[in-house]
Structures are given as structure tokens and as C-alpha cells.
Amino acid sequence: MAKRIDVSGLTAFYGSHRAIDDISMTVEPRSVTAFIGPSGCGKSTYLRTLNRMHEVTPGGRVEGKVMLDGESLYGPGVDPVAVRRTIGMVFQRPNPFPTMSIYDNVAAGLKLNGLTKKSELDTVVERSLRGANLWNEVKDRLNKPGSGLSGGQQQRLCIARAIAVEPQVLLMDEPCSALDPISTLAIEDLIGELKDQFTIVIVTHNMQQAARVSDRTAFFNLAAIGQPGKLIEIDDTERIFSNPSVQATEDYISGRFG
């Protein structure tokens, strides 16, 4: 249950402002791809175009092609709701539904898809929570509100919620930026495990994190503030961090700007 993503000539707008320009890349299945780059370079915007979340923002508009195993995400007749179910997302700040219990949070997506049998729900909820390395910590308080958990636990709850609907791809938008180092480590370990099952794309500000968790790394940059962000290069992570082919990448990685 992991699929390949092929992007070609993708440009995204906010109203008339061009946020990212002409991006093409391939994301391999069952691997972790990290997006790095300075603030404002459009990596998060780009990530949100991959599951059609960008167009939810007022004025958000996309040109170009995104193919999921050869099927276009932006083709005619494609339902954005189905796209988002197929390509899950984890956000910067943990966002469990505050009015729902831990159990209901994980079951939320399942219920949307018509799963109502208690026994089936129980199975999938447990499987997802185990998958997110959270089961042992919460199994005794499944009916407590999700907002009572720590930040790191909440983020893993969100991951459990995302993988419960069995997506093909998991997008993560700086999932650790609001967390402490120990919780960050837990999430990074989890990412390593999840990549056996899913295609994972992660946006991160933290270059060590990109080096630790990803197989491939893409570097984004922008010419100046107000200019659209561009993909500078994408390569194996090892290559990017040891011997990048573009000077700007090396400057960024070695801390000369950004």
C-alpha cells in the first residue's frame, strides 16, 4: 500500500502571487523523502499541493501535474476528498479533535468511510495505535480526551489517525517542530518504521533530522522575498549532505544562509 508520486511542471498560486514555480520530481514508494530549505521557500505549500489541501486556502490554485502511480490527482472527475483519503497528512502542530476521545480520534476517519461495526473499529484502532507506537501508553484510557496527552503523544495520535484510513502516502509538515527532543526522537523512530508501509514525505527545518530519517532529500530555495520558491535539487540524502551538485545547497547545508 504505497504508491509512487510523479510531479511535473507544478506551479502553485495564492491569488495572483506565485508561491512555487515549475517543480518536477519523483517520490519513490516505501521511502522517506525530506524537503528542506529556508523559510518561505514554499516547501509546505508544495507539500499541500500533493494532497489537494492547497486549494482549500482562499485563493489557492495549482497548475501542472501530480500523478499517483500514473493516475492524475488533478484530472477531470477526480474527487479531492478521495485524494485526501488516499494521501494522508500530519501537521506542524498536533491537532487531535478536542471534543473526541482518543479512540474516537483514531476512528474518526474510519467512521467517515462507513465503518461502523464496533469489532472492526476496535481492530483498526488498535492496529493504528500500535503502528504509531502509542498503544501501550494509551490503551487504558482510550475514552479520555485526546487533548489530555502530551505534545509528542498527541502528534503520534495524529499519525495513528492518519494511518488508520490506510493511505498510500503520508505527508508530514514539520511534524516535530512543536515537540521536545525526546518526543522528536520517538517520532523519528516511528517514521523509520512507517516507511516499510507508506510513501513518506516530510518537510523539516531541521537538517540533522532530514539527514537522520530520509532516504532522499530535496532542497528548495527562492531568489528573493516575494519571488516564487523553486526546487534546486533532489538527490539521495547522503549525496546532498556530503557532495551536493549545486553550490546553493552546500551553502545552505553548511549554514552559510537560511
Dihedral of CA 98/104/110/113: which sign? negative
Query: Which of helix, strand or coil describes residue 97?
Result: coil
**In degrees to the nearest 10, what's the CA dihedral of 160, 161, 167, 170?**
-70
- Window 46 to 75, contacts with another protein (CB under 8 A): 51, 53, 56, 58-59, 68, 71, 73, 75
Tell me if 223 contacts another protein by CB under 8 A: no
In the window 172-211, what residues touch another protein (CB under 8 A)?
Answer: 193, 196-197
162 binds another protein (CB under 8 A): yes
Q: Is 123 in the site for another protein (CB under 8 A)?
A: yes
Contact segment (CB under 8 A) with another protein among 33-41, 88-96, 211-219, 220-228 equals 88-96
Residues that contact another protein, how many (by CB under 8 A)? 53
* Residue bearing cell 474527487: 79
User: Among 23, 83, 102, 134, which residue interacts with another protein (rule: CB under 8 A)?
Assistant: 83
Phi, psi (deg, nearest 5) at residue 2: -140, 140
Radius of gyration of the chain (CA): 18
3-class SS letters over 200-256: EEEECCCHHHHHHHCCEEEEEEECCCCCCEEEEEEEEHHHHHHCCCCHHHHHHHCCC
Distance CA 199, CA 171 (A): 8
x/- track of binding to another protein for residues 129-158 (CB under 8 A): -xx-x-----------x-x----------x
Q: Interface residues with another protein (CB under 8 A)?
A: 1, 51, 53, 56, 58-59, 68, 71, 73, 75, 77-79, 81-86, 88-89, 91, 93, 95-99, 108-110, 112-115, 117, 120, 123-124, 127, 130-131, 133, 145, 147, 158, 161-162, 165-166, 193, 196-197
